[in-house]
């Protein structure tokens, strides 16, 4: 490193020190927090024997999610990936179709497209939300696709481009109004991968309401966890019923008969997991409040840092700040890995952005537009510790040993 990159590295470590202190052991990136009725509700499942795929907590979780996301139909699933898979089927995606999705996302988004037999078609990000760049995508579609009888077709292959999946990276809402308009213009079904954005608001409303269907995740590292799990959200009664049918082995309701009318999936969320989720949702507001406090501390700490900036929520949105992130200046990009080594050595668990989808071996050959912004971001974004409990650190003498023993 040159003198100035050394100085930047020291400033970045200093900023984390102002927020997190000098921990003796690793501060995790995002750890779950069980401070409410989690144990009571899980015990209830064990005492009553209702641990498996149906039960009162599943019903309650689905109702609570419907209220939270302001979508009348919610179906709990075994993972967020399973929810996305079924969302794509509900969107009418068929084998051979193209599905547009960001290259800058977690691998689950692209995997779910592949499960349907469709072709992932990767699009670029914009640097404020890290979400899909609508105007750049519009240019790409004008150049490479055509509309015929209300269908969008890829000019090179003739394949139908059926759907657009958008993500809300780290909980920062993508520009949903603009993306929904783009989807209308090009006859695309809009699907929201809201895996990371529970509790985030776009123009005052929850994410997950713009897509025909949307998917949420309750994996262990997300803001709300069920251990593992997810949900499908939709405003359509018909699609909600179909989501339930497909995720429960497509069994035709009957008092005792086993009639299944198509190939379905066992994507049900067990009652045991739903119990955890119900207790977590009771505490969502508190977790969101403390996560916002933590991001405000980071924002203040990084305000004076040369060489890196704190990634703030986009205008007109309220992010859940699932994962806090800093973005290195271009000059520091080449030193990202040294910085990651230094941050982790100082016990601030830090991670780079995911490897872009178009660079993974199984997706290398897939169609894509120019993705230079995503590539630049991939080289410069670093996630830093984001658990809600870290907002309580200023009250504890030794930050390294404070909080839950799950670290
Ligand atoms: C976590 C995540 C998923 C998948 O969720 P799982 O519950 O882990 O299957 C999908 N998309 C994005 C963007 C995610 O972050």
Residue ranges of domains in the chain: 3-31+284-396, 38-282
pLDDT on residue 2: 63
Alpha carbon of 81 to ligand 1 centroid (Å): 6
Interhelix angle 3-20/336-345, rounded to 10 degrees, is 40
Alpha carbon of 219 to ligand 1 centroid (Å): 7
How far, in Å, CA of 310 to CA of 21, rounded? 18
The CATH class of 38-282 is alpha beta
Give the position, in ligand 1's atom list, of the atom nearest the Cα of 230. Answer: 7
pLDDT on residue 406: 42
Mutate which of 219, 354, 355 to test ligand 1's pocket (most atoms within 8 Å of Cβ)?
A: 219
Alpha carbon of 156 to ligand 1 centroid (Å): 31
Active site (annotated) includes residue 222: yes
Give the position, in ligand 1's atom list, of the atom nearest the Cα of 168. Answer: 13
How far, in Å, CA of 297 to CA of 190, rounded? 35
The answer, yes or no, to whether any atom of ligand 1 lies below 6 A from the CB of 271, is: no
The answer, yes or no, to whether any atom of ligand 1 lies below 6 A from the CB of 200, is: no
The answer, yes or no, to whether any atom of ligand 1 lies below 6 A from the CB of 378, is: no
Residue 281 has φ and ψ, to the nearest 5°, of: -65, -30
pLDDT on residue 97: 98
The CATH class of 3-31+284-396 is alpha beta
Mutate which of 76, 78, 104, 106 to test ligand 1's pocket (most atoms within 8 Å of Cβ)?
A: 106
Alpha carbon of 286 to ligand 1 centroid (Å): 23
One fold for 3-31+284-396 and 38-282: no
End-to-end CA distance of the chain: 32
Give the position, in ligand 1's atom list, of the atom nearest the Cα of 108. Answer: 10
pLDDT on residue 400: 46
Residues with pLDDT less than 70, the chain = 1-3, 394-407
Q: What is the pLDDT of residues 265-298, one digit of tens each?
A: 999 999 999 999 999 999 999 999 999 999 999 9
Q: Output b/e per residue, 142-161; b: 16+ Cβ within 10 A.
A: eeebeeeeeebbbeeeebbb
Alpha carbon of 222 to ligand 1 centroid (Å): 9
* Distance from the Cα of residue 173 to its chain's centroid: 10
The answer, yes or no, to whether any atom of ligand 1 lies below 6 A from the CB of 192, is: no
Among 9, 25, 136, 222, the one annotated catalytic: 222
CA distances from residue 133 to 2, 188, 267 in whole angstroms, order as listed: 34, 16, 32
The answer, yes or no, to whether any atom of ligand 1 lies below 6 A from the CB of 197, is: no
Give the start-end residues of each E strand in 338-388.
351-352, 381-384
pTM of the model: 0.95
The answer, yes or no, to whether any atom of ligand 1 lies below 6 A from the CB of 385, is: no
Instruction: Give yes or no for a contact between 19 and 301, defined as CB atoms under 8 angstroms apart.
Output: yes
**Shortest CA distance to 290 belongs to which of 321, 314, 313, 311?**
321
Alpha carbon of 16 to ligand 1 centroid (Å): 27
């Amino acid at each position: 490193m040159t003198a100035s990159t050394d100085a930047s590295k020291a400033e970045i470590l200093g900023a984390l020190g102002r927020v997190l202190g000098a921990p003796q052991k690793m501060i995790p990136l995002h750890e779950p927090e069980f401070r409410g009725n989690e144990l009571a509700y899980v015990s209830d499942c064990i005492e009553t024997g209702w641990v498996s795929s149906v039960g009162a907590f599943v019903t309650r979780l689905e109702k609570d999610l419907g209220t939270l996301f302001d979508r009348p139909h919610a179906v709990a699933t075994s993972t967020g990936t399973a929810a996305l898979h079924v969302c794509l089927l509900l969107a009418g995606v068929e084998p051979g179709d193209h599905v547009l999705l960001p290259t800058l996302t977690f691998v689950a988004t692209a995997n779910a497209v592949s499960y349907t037999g469709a072709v992932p078609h990767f699009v670029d990000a914009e640097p404020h939300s890290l979400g899909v760049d609508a105007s750049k995508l519009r240019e790409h579609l004008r150049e490479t696709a055509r509309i015929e009888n209300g269908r969008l077709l890829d000019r090179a292959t003739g394949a139908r481009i059926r759907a657009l999946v958008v993500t809300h990276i780290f909980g920062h809402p993508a520009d949903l109004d603009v993306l929904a308009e783009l989807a209308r213009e090009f006859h695309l079904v809009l699907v929201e991968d809201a895996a990371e954005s529970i509790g985030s608001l776009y123009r005052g409303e929850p994410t997950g309401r713009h897509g025909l269907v949307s998917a949420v995740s309750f994996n262990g590292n997300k803001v709300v966890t069920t251990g593992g799990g997810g949900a499908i959200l939709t405003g359509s009664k018909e699609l909600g019923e179909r989501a339930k049918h497909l995720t429960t082995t497509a069994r035709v309701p009957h008092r005792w008969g086993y009639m299944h009318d198509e190939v379905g999936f066992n994507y049900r969320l067990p009652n045991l997991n739903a119990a955890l989720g119900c207790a977590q949702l009771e505490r969502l507001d508190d977790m969101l409040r403390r996560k916002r406090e933590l991001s405000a501390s980071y924002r203040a700490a990084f305000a004076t840092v040369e060489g890196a900036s704190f990634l703030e929520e986009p205008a007109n949105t309220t992010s859940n700040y699932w994962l806090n992130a800093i973005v290195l200046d271009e000059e520091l990009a080449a030193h990202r890995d040294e910085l990651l080594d230094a941050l982790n050595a100082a016990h601030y668990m830090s991670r780079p952005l995911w490897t872009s989808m178009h660079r993974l071996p199984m997706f290398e050959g897939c169609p894509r537009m120019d993705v230079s912004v995503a590539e630049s971001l991939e080289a410069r974004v670093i996630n830093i510790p984001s658990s809600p409990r870290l907002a309580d650190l200023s009250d504890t003498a030794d930050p390294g040993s404070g909080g839950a023993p799950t670290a």
